[in-house]
Amino acid sequence: LFGKSDVLREFLHVPDDKILDVIAAPGFSFHASIAATELSPSKQARLAKCLEIEPTKRGTLDDLRSLLPPTSTIVRPSGVTRVYDAMTRVHSSLEGIHMDVQSGLRLNAEVLAMTQATLAKVVETKVDLMRGIFEATEVAVPTSFIVLPFHMADQRQQTLQPPATTVKKTMGFLQRMKFVGANIVAAVKESNPLAATKAALDGFTQGQPMYLYLLDEVTGAPVEDNAGIYPIKIDTASDAYTKFMATNLPLFQRGFKFLKMANAVAGVFQSFGVPTLSNDTLGEIESLLDAPVSSVQDFNVVQKALGNEGPVHAVRGAALRDLERFYAENDPNKTFAGLARVPLEHGQAVWTKDDARWQ
């Protein structure tokens, strides 16, 4: 790398602390640099050995020192000594690169194994939660979602509200969800099932709007977007809302159960602006999510009572059409907050933003 003036020609105009950046640049070639030196072929070969990335084949620092001009440390201590120090750092960096590559290969293998295990768990979880509601092959819209009594972004910005208040509010909401299914099933047996169901839901929502969040079925996280479509704000005062919430309640309940099975509860609370949860609090929340969800039989009873008479298959079809209509009204371009449907084996599919990972 030296010219006759004992100066590093390639780095003549490069500050000392930027030399490693130049070496690390994609277009840099050690072979081209060596060929441009004043060294003899044997010394060029020796220098190439010093720059070998494989530790077992690399030359020693003594080999490198033998290549420096014999009087350089006396004549130009400020320049060559700095260069020698820089090359020492290069040696350490090359050692680190080798170790990083080896570690990266091991990590990739571990990630692949974890990824495959995660996918298997996702499919198992989804099949378990969805069994008996919709046939997997007939669904072309996301069916994993939750409703919340607040907008997560707004909740994060409420810096004056202590995290404990957010936790208490959310746990109260989950506590009400624990009983709303039974309340709705009882309500639809009244003489005016729609009015009775609305009253049951009012007790659940406490008259506040609900926000529907889609779930990434791989990460288990609620999905937010920048287009202003999701979360979808639901007006709890309308009859359409009453029918939609009542007939799709098993899906909402299973959405929260999915969070627990995907080990995503703590991450969701971080999205609310709650940085950490104690083990006791997390246990309480997960116990609420363990509450029995509305059964398929209940689901069919509610569907029929609210105007969808017919056999079970027809009831499922009506519920699916209702869900598709909800998306068409609120997300006509089917953006689904960036989620993509990724087909898997046996007719199953997952909805995820990380769709390339599963192709």
pLDDT of residue 351: 87
Give the per-residue pLDDT at 70: 60
In the prediction, which pLDDT does 74 show? Answer: 44
Share of the chain above pLDDT 90, in %: 6
More confident residue, 102 or 244: 244
pLDDT in tens, 285-340: 888 887 665 544 454 555 555 554 443 344 456 667 778 888 999 999 999 999 99
- d(CA 243, CA 249) in angstroms, rounded, equals 10
The pLDDT value recorded for residue 72 is 44
Does 165 or 86 have the greater pLDDT score?
Answer: 165
Cα 1 from Cα 286, distance rounded (Å)? 64
Q: How far apart are CA 99 and CA 36, in angstroms?
A: 30
pTM over 0.85: no
Residue among 64, 65, 69 at smallest CA distance from 3: 69
Domain boundaries, the chain: 9-102, 131-358
Tell me the per-residue pLDDT of 210-236, one tens digit each, with 9 for 90 and over: 899 999 888 888 998 888 899 999 888
CA dihedral in degrees (72, 75, 79, 80; nearest 10)?
10
Asked if the model's pLDDT at residue 172 lies above 80, the reply is yes
What are the pLDDT digits (tens) for 16-70? 777 777 777 777 777 777 777 777 888 888 888 887 777 778 888 777 777 766 6
Q: How far is CA 63 from CA 10, 48, 95, in A?
A: 21, 11, 17
Q: Which of 48-62, 267-281, 342-356 has the lowest mean pLDDT?
A: 342-356
